[in-house]
Amino acid sequence: MRTLVLDDDPAIGRFICRVAQSAGFDTQSATRVEAFRSHYLSAPPDVVVLDLQIGPADGIEQLRFLSEQHYRNPVMLMSGFDGRVLSAARDMGKAMGLEIAAAVTKPLRLAEVNALFEGLAQRLRPLSPARLIEAIRGGELFLEYQPVVTRRPRDVIMLEALARWRHPSHGRIAPDRFVPLAEQSAEAIDALTDGVLALAARDYAKLREAGCETPLAVNVSGRNLDALDFPDRVHGSLRAARVPAERFSLELTETAASADHSRSMDVFARLRLKGLKLAIDDFGAGYSSLKRLKQLPFSTIKIDKSFVADLPQSRDATAIVKSVVDLARNMQLDCIAEGVESAATADQLEGFGVSQMQGFHFARPQSIDDTVAWLKDWRKAA
């Protein structure tokens, strides 16, 4: 990340550069318009800091220059004039299509400028495995829960924990963006899985305190299976929170479960021996080997939601779902249908012999506090 500063006072330019550097930016400064434009054209920066009065020139001309260059990164304005001039310059910059990230008055205050650059650094820093690890350690990760239910009798079988990332500047980041990042690095995927397990164990204790003790399911990556100590880490995390292993299920996608690794068989067997249940998620969406399914000690099959969603209008989806249900029954595995969005679909699944279901028809993913309230309402209506 790079910051370019234009101010005809060298001392202010040096001050801005020091603050920007402390936030992780490389910096360049100029006291003349010609040098500023030369620096810009040689390598457009990530942030421009611009004084509104530069000797005989002015900052409005430089805003026009940036607009003509189709500059789309943040611009920070500075001025010793009164606030109305600064506000007018901000409005002109926005009208030119520029992103005016801040407009600060002189004399500059260290705390204000430092906070601005820290915020810009957070926003501009590219998402990466290292940034994800930082987010996990910094408490930016949180969980939402979606229940797996039965209608007859009305019960809650488990709650699936779904990881979310609340980024301070990017906002809410979905798992389909950050899980692939985590899987680029053994350190990152271990940090993500361990972090999710710790959060889920903490939330299980909240459920217990609220009188809503319910088994939890946590998604894990196929990369976790490369680590022979994975079962010990999972068991240690649960034991530290005084959570019975029997109340936890680990879910793995079909594609990851089908990878032909003898090491994964070692890990799966030890997880089951420690009391955890294992579910194969999104079943039918990949290219699973039935031989591998037979070899691995799964306890549950989850039917992929794409087939469940197509049930009302697709004979092929109906045939696939029926086949998976028969397979689960014959192998003495539990069977869960994902993506149930209507009572009609739930009725059809029950007709096939599927009693355990998950989907928006019952509940959307929600915070642990909202989940506690939902559980009480669901069980009260039983």
Q: Domains, the chain, ranges and CATH?
A: 2-124 (3.40.50.2300), 129-380 (3.20.20.450)
Q: Which residue spans within 179-315 are E strands per DSSP? A: 216-219, 248-253, 277-283, 300-303
Per-residue pLDDT of 174-216, as tens digits, reads: 888 899 889 888 899 999 999 999 999 999 999 999 999 999 9
Q: What is the CA radius of gyration of the chain?
A: 28
Q: Which helix (H) or strand (E) holds 166?
A: strand 155-167
- β-bridge mates for residue 118, sequence order: none
Q: Give the full edge-to-edge strand order of the sheet including 47-51.
A: 26-30, 2-6, 47-51, 74-79, 99-105
Greater pLDDT, 56 or 96? 96
Rounded CA separation 142/166 (Å): 8
Give the model's confidence band at 257: pLDDT under 50 very low, under 70 low, under 90 confident, else very high: low
Closest CA to 260 of 283, 289, 285: 289
Read off the tokens for 158. 């488990």
Of 107-121, 218-232, 248-262, 328-342, the range with the lowest mean pLDDT is 248-262
Per-residue pLDDT of 276-326, as tens digits, reads: 999 988 776 554 556 667 778 889 999 989 899 999 888 999 999 999 999
Rounded CA separation 74/225 (Å): 43
Q: Which residue has the tokens 């197509």?
A: 310
Mutual angle of helices 343-352 and 315-330, in 10-degree steps = 50
What integer is the mean pLDDT of 119-137? 86
Prediction pTM value: 0.73
CB 294 within 8 A of CB 258: no
Read off the tokens for 232. 């010990």
At residue 244, what are phi and psi to the nearest 5 degrees? -65, 130
Report pLDDT for 104: 87
Report pLDDT for 211: 92
Rounded CA separation 339/192 (Å): 25
% of the chain at pLDDT higher than 90:
49
Select, from the ranges 44-58, 216-230, 259-273, 278-292, the one with the highest average predicted confidence (pLDDT). Answer: 216-230
Read off the tokens for 277. 């249940």
Q: Which residue spans within 171-259 are E strands per DSSP? A: 171-173, 216-219, 248-253
CB 73 within 8 A of CB 93: no
Give the model's confidence band at 255: pLDDT under 50 very low, under 70 low, under 90 confident, else very high: low
